[in-house]
């Protein structure tokens, strides 16, 4: 059997998603999902017919929402498919290289591994900002640069001037991909306005996080028409199931967008509440500033805290194995009672009164 499998597939470690890790509990703060159930419904009409390649109504709605023209949008099965299709479209296996900046979202490395693409890895600096000097030094023949902004799992945004400077110094043969999965939590940091200015800019978006539709699997690639048309050659013939586009269209109606915006404000308030309470705990070494719906916390001894949380039914995400993140855990911001529950558990851990 071993000879059946190519060496690079044999050597793969699959992405350790929250679902694959499979920890069970009462409160799930491990996948940066929205804690609120979405009430949008689907009609299940016309399932006998193949869907449109790119459902027009959804393109129209996302264009209106994002301010990006329809012809500059590709609808994908989640931002994850956006990450993958860029590699498949622009990188020749065993030849081309991608660059990314860990600790960051693991799927850039996982896709490079799957398609046998070389990886140039430039860790972010100790202040979690981009290492421009080393990026510039190694830019050479890089095909794709993945920047996660705001970054997962650190939660911060990169300096706008740093990203702009990369856009300015990269050659025309390099694409800069900005993964904006969490951008709704800090919209001023979006780069959609730069799309018309820089032809080698690509932006990834999703309905999985702030829109609360992680199980829908719907995302978007935003770029110039030339790039979008290349991706359209590679994308599967009927990628977006009709129930998916029906629900996505509903979620982008004005009243639902308003509901999403209210939920974003609630998350930001809950985050402030949580950070304020966490400040008084002596098991915590550092709480990193966050532009997202999660916070990264450095503890003194994260393993025992993680186990303690699990034993109390609270599931969070261990990040302590990642470069530069010793003793760090990532906690998604939930509903206010979930935040209170989390605080109560930590105060109990310390034998402290609330
Ligand atoms: C969650 C996440 C994704 C995946 O989004 P989907 O649309 O659910 O595939 C992509 N990038 C980052 C940084 C994420 O955190």
What is the full per-residue pLDDT of the chain (354 aa) written as tens digits? 778 998 898 889 888 888 888 889 999 999 999 999 887 777 777 889 999 999 999 999 999 999 999 999 999 999 999 999 999 999 999 999 999 999 999 999 999 999 999 999 999 999 999 999 999 999 989 999 999 999 999 999 999 999 999 999 999 999 999 999 999 999 999 999 999 999 999 999 999 999 999 999 999 999 999 999 999 999 999 999 999 999 999 999 999 999 999 999 999 999 999 999 999 899 999 999 999 999 999 999 999 999 999 999 999 999 999 999 999 999 999 999 999 999 999 999 988 766
155 C-beta closer than 6 A to ligand 1: no
206 C-beta closer than 6 A to ligand 1: yes
DSSP one-letter code for 254: H
Helix (H, G, I), strand (E, B), or coil: what is residue 215?
coil
Does the domain spanning 7-30+256-349 belong to CATH 3.90.1150.10? Answer: yes
- Tell me the two tokens of residue 245: 């586009």
Tokens 């703060």 belong to which residue?
A: 29
203 C-beta closer than 6 A to ligand 1: no
**Percent helix, strand and coil across the chain, each rounded to 5?**
40, 15, 45
96 C-beta closer than 6 A to ligand 1: no
Q: Which helix (H) or strand (E) segment is 268 a member of?
A: helix 254-278
- Closest atom of ligand 1 to CA, residue 80: 9
Q: Which fold has domain 56-252?
A: 3.40.640
208 C-beta closer than 6 A to ligand 1: yes
- Closest atom of ligand 1 to CA, residue 148: 13
118 Cβ neighbours under 8 A, 6+ residues apart: 95, 96, 97, 98, 112
How far is the C-alpha of 181 from the C-alpha of 194, rounded, in Å?
A: 17
How far is the C-alpha of 121 from the C-alpha of 98, rounded, in Å?
A: 8
**For residue 40, what pLDDT is reported?**
79
- Separation of 32 CA from ligand 1 center, angstroms? 9
Tokens 């993140």 belong to which residue?
A: 325
In this structure, the number of other CB atoms found within 10 A of the CB of residue 136 comes to 14
pTM (2 decimals)? 0.96
- Separation of 31 CA from ligand 1 center, angstroms? 10
Q: Which helix (H) or strand (E) segment is 311 a member of?
A: helix 302-311
Which residues lie across from 99 on neighbouring strands? 120, 145
For the chain, what are the domain ranges? Answer: 7-30+256-349, 56-252
What strands lie across the sheet with 294-299, from one edge to the other?
284-287, 294-299, 328-332, 317-318
| Residue of 82, 105, 319 with the most ligand 1 atoms within 8 Å of its CB, for mutation | 105
Length of the chain: 354
55 C-beta closer than 6 A to ligand 1: no
**For residue 219, what pLDDT is reported?**
98
* Atom 5, ligand 1: residue with shortest CA distance: 79
């Amino acid at each position: 059997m071993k000879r059946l499998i190519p060496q690079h597939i044999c050597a793969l470690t699959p992405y350790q998603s929250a679902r694959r890790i499979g920890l069970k509990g009462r409160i799930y703060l491990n996948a940066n999902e929205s804690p609120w159930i979405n009430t949008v419904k689907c009609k299940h009409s016309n399932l006998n017919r193949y869907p449109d390649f790119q459902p027009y109504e959804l393109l129209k709605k996302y264009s209106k929402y994002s301010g990006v023209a329809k012809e500059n949008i590709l609808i994908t099965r989640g931002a994850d498919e956006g990450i993958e299709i860029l590699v498949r479209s622009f990188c020749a296996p065993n030849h081309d290289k991608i660059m990314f900046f860990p600790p960051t979202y693991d799927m850039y490395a996982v896709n490079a591994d799957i398609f046998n693409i070389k990886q140039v890895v430039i860790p972010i600096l100790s202040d979690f900002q981009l290492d421009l000097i080393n990026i510039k030094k190694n830019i050479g023949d890089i095909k794709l640069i993945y920047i996660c902004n705001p970054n997962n799992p650190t939660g911060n945004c990169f300096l706008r001037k740093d990203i702009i400077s990369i856009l300015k110094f990269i050659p025309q043969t390099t694409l800069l991909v900005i993964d904006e999965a969490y951008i709704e939590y800090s919209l001023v940091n979006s780069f959609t306005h730069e799309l018309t200015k820089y032809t080698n800019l690509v932006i990834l978006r999703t309905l999985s996080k702030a829109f609360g539709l992680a199980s829908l699997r719907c995302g978007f690639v935003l770029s110039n028409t030339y790039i979008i048309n290349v991706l359209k050659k590679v994308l599967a013939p009927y990628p977006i199931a009709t129930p998916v586009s029906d629900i996505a269209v509903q979620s982008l109606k004005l009243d639902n967008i308003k509901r999403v915006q209210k939920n974003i404000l609630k998350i930001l308030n809950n985050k402030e509440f949580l950070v304020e309470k966490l400040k008084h705990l002596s098991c915590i070494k550092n709480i990193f500033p966050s532009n997202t719906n999660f916070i990264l916390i450095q503890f003194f001894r994260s393993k025992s805290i993680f186990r303690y949380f699990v034993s109390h039914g609270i599931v969070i995400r261990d990040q302590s194995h990642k470069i530069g993140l010793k003793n760090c855990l990532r906690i998604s911001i939930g509903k206010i009672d979930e935040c209170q529950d989390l605080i109560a558990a930590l105060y109990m851990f310390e034998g402290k009164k609330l």
